[in-house]
Amino acid sequence: MLIVHKYGGTSVGSLERIKSVADRVAKARRDGNSLVVVVSAMSGETNKLIDFAKYFSPNPSKREMDMLLSSGEMVTASLLAIALNEMGVDAVAMSGGQAGIVTDSFHTYARIKSIDTTSIKRELDRDRVVVVAGFQGINRSGEITTLGRGGSDLSAVAIAGAIGADACEIYSDVDGIYTTDPRVEPKAKKMSYISYEEMLELASLGAKVLQNRSVELAKKLNVKIVAKSSFSESEGTIIGEEREDMEAVLVSGIALDKNQARVSLKDVSDRPGIAAEIFTKLAEENINVDMIIQNASSNGLTMLGFTVPESELPKAKEIIENFDHDIGGKSFDSNICKVSIVGVGMKSHSGVAATAFSALARENINIEMISTSEIKVSMVIDQKYAELAVRTLHSVYELDK
């Protein structure tokens, strides 16, 4: 098989770790696979380089930052190839540019435009392991660019798509995706398979495992991802296309987001344009509004509530406080959280949401806001019930079974 391996910062965090990655790659070779290996910088390295730059300038040029940051991945790629060669496994290290990754010119947050796979394929044909420095490419003028933090996952998925790999195995220090955060519910189970859509909705559960942008790209290119640990031999979680047998599972996972705050507006004039005015002002300040609810009006007045990330509440508050017409009362609450149940089975089954509402009601947890999508139901509740709500929902959908 043709496989892409990707090793994150902790997996290549020391020389010993790089050696054990080399052992793993050598084993996959012996098993008869062709391999492209994408690596991150050693853990902490990218942050260290950013600090180095800050020593000289609070606002360093982005082009130079890309020169600097790309070096972290070059170190691990070269060292891994050297280690492999020493073990008798023929390997060649490449920068992103040498591997044919062409990006736009947005330094430090570039997007991959295309991949010219000529060099990778040539080296694979020579039976070599191709080790590619992740997180980087070159623009059309040959300038080095980087892809944004966590971007090595994106390099790996993009390469897997371009060469038509059978799988893209992404190694970190976590052995897969769990039905919920095991720190909140120790009975959380590792999933063996999850669809791209579910993974995107459960982003918080995979935050330490996969960069979300790379899941979006995998979905687009139909690249099968396997999230695995480089510290164990455990099976990992496959992230792939929705399968028919998945519909039997109503809920696949429970996500918790404590970083949410709510804005409640009372006695808002019920006339065309008012919501547009409020949300345009918020959008102009790049505030990410998530859930929005508006009540049916009475006497020409209505209630409007919405959530924003907690870190953006001060900015939202300032905008709303300065809004001097058409709003009667304003209140702000950061002691809330959002609990979401996610599953593709919801598309074809009714009553999934009702089960969640009843389970929370039995625990006397009040649901303050609700929003739904095809495969997700999100509920805003008092933050002090966050863990209880997660455990309650986890058990009512039998995710611990």
Which residues bind to ligand ASP, rule: CB under 6 A? 8-9, 40-41, 46, 72, 134-135, 149-153
Nearest CA-CA partner of 114 in 221, 253, 40, 256? 221
Largest CA distance in the chain: 81
Q: How far is the CB of 137 from ligand ASP (least distance, A)?
A: 13
Contact partner at residue 260 from Mg ion, ligand ASP, none, CB < 5 to 8 Å by partner kind: none
Which region, judged by CB under 5 A, interacts with Mg ion, from 8-16, 99-107, 226-234, 364-372?
A: 8-16
Q: Report the nearest approach of ligand ASP to the CB of residue 161 (Å).
A: 17
* Minimum distance from residue 231 beta carbon to ligand ASP (Å): 17
Residue 13 in contact with Mg ion, rule: CB under 5 A: no
Q: Smaller CB distance to Mg ion: residue 110 or 249?
A: 110
Residue 72 or 150 with smaller CB distance to Mg ion: 150
* Region 246-305 residues binding Mg ion, contact defined as CB under 5 A: none
Per CB under 5 A, which region of 7-15, 114-122, 173-181, 301-309 contacts Mg ion? 7-15
Minimum distance between the CB of residue 59 and ligand ASP, rounded to whole angstroms? 20
- Residue range at the interface with Mg ion (CB under 5 A); choices 21-29, 143-151, 279-287, 339-347: 143-151
72, 100, 150, 305: residue in contact with Mg ion (rule CB under 5 A): 150
The Cα–Cα gap between 326 and 308 comes to: 21
C-alpha closest to that of 383 among 342, 334, 332: 334
| Residues near Mg ion, by CB under 5 A | 8, 150
